[in-house]
């Protein structure tokens, strides 16, 4: 048997991409074969496709950090042919062949049963971005955040993770402030997703200048990192927390210990890649229970597999909005 894939290779002239048909025997041995129906385009995918970030190690390579589809066969009793499954994380699409192919060979532990109320396309509209957003919110709530505590900030709100966080927080009853660099272009869409307030990222993207600023935020889902996160930390209310989910603004954070010592703030690192299977299942259930599917569709753009490589520079440059799903089947 054979399968169709987007094959990425590193050559002397740079990165090359080609739609190819490959025999099944080139798939890595892992225990479960999934017939992939949908994947998605994420920031990490952009890095792998362009050779950035040193995420991809061996080429030629099949990227795609997300996938959803149906089990074709399994050596593990937890999965049977016909089971609908979703996979995000576990470095699939980085160091393991991923979702940009009509067939994937993966380990049983990496799969999560798709909630009954979601299609495989909807699961990829959620994808790594929505999963990470829900994991971040769940982490803040475990810390004690509840609706009514005050405004919760979402940075990078125009992206897939940020837009998902805005909507999920609003659905859960929070007062949401959304930060974006394109207020005029994206403000209305962010308010439709549930943002109470839309602020220009320029107001929070510089290092704070002082150890503490006026207390402002009851919590934060941060998709930007860098000096933006440092600024937010200086504005967190006493005992509040931020969930650090990304580093589009850089990995250097010019902060200091004063907010932690004098205001007792907390910063949680959100690792959606190696999140344990039991918690994954619980987070996906919360996603099914919380996401408004019409709002999810409003976040979503659909492309075919042969369009993926051309959009890699766009997502790296912050020129995409919301989520991009990739039709595989």
86 and 28 within one domain: yes
186 within some domain: yes
155 and 22 within one domain: no
Tokens 């009851």, residue located: 218
Stretch (H or E) spanning 131 = helix 120-143
Stretch (H or E) spanning 261 = helix 258-262
Radius of gyration of the chain (CA): 20
Tens of pLDDT along the chain (329 residues) come to 899 999 999 998 889 999 999 999 999 889 999 999 999 999 899 999 999 877 877 899 999 999 999 999 999 999 999 999 999 999 999 999 999 999 999 999 999 999 999 999 999 999 999 999 999 999 999 999 999 999 999 999 988 899 999 999 999 999 999 999 888 888 999 999 999 999 999 999 998 889 999 999 999 999 999 999 999 999 999 999 999 999 878 888 889 999 999 999 999 999 999 999 999 999 999 999 999 988 889 889 999 999 999 999 999 888 888 899 999 98
Tokens of 250: 């850089």
75 and 169 within one domain: no
What pairs with residue 165 in β-bridges? none
307 and 263 within one domain: no
- The domain total for the chain is 2
Rounded-to-integer distance, Cα 91 and Cα 98, Å: 9
- CATH number reported for the structural domain that contains residue 188 in this entry: 3.40.50.720
317 within some domain: yes
276 within some domain: no
243 and 195 within one domain: yes
Tokens 């009853």, residue located: 173
At 97 the pLDDT is 97
136 and 263 within one domain: yes
Identify the domain containing residue 178 by its residue range.
128-269
- CATH number reported for the structural domain that contains residue 103 in this entry: 3.90.180.10
At 124 the pLDDT is 97
Rounded-to-integer distance, Cα 57 and Cα 104, Å: 18
- What does pTM read for this prediction? 0.94
């Amino acid at each position: 048997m054979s399968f169709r894939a987007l094959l990425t290779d590193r050559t002397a002239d740079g990165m090359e991409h080609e739609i190819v048909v490959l025999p099944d025997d080139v798939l890595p041995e892992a225990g479960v074969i999934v017939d992939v129906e949908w994947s998605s385009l994420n920031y990490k995918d952009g890095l792998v496709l362009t050779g950035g970030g040193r995420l991809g190690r061996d080429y030629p390579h099949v990227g795609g950090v997300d996938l959803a589809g149906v089990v074709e066969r399994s050596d593990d009793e937890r999965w049977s042919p016909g089971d609908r499954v979703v996979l995000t994380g576990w470095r699939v699409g980085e160091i393991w062949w991923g979702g940009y192919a009509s067939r994937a060979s993966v380990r049983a532990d990496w799969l999560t049963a798709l909630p009954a109320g979601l299609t495989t396309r909807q699961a990829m509209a959620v994808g790594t971005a929505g999963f990470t957003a829900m994991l971040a919110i769940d982490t803040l709530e475990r810390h004690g955040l509840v609706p009514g505590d005050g405004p919760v900030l979402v940075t990078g709100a125009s992206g897939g993770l940020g837009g998902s966080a805005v909507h999920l927080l609003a659905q859960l009853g929070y007062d949401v402030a959304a930060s974006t660099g394109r207020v005029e272009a994206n403000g209305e869409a962010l308010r439709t997703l549930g943002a109470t307030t839309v602020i220009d990222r320029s107001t929070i993207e510089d290092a704070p200048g002082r150890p503490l600023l006026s207390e402002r935020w009851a919590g934060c889902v941060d998709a930007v990192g860098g000096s933006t996160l440092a600024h937010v930390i200086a504005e967190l209310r006493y005992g509040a927390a931020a969930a650090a989910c990304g580093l589009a603004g850089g990995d250097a954070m010019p902060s200091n210990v004063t907010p932690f010592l004098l205001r007792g703030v907390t910063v949680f690192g959100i690792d959606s890649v190696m999140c344990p299977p039991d918690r994954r299942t619980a987070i996906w259930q919360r996603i099914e229970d919380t996401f408004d599917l019409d709002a999810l569709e409003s976040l979503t753009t659909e492309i075919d597999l042969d369009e993926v490589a051309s959009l890699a520079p766009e997502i790296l440059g912050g020129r995409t909005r919301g989520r991009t799903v990739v039709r595989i089947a």
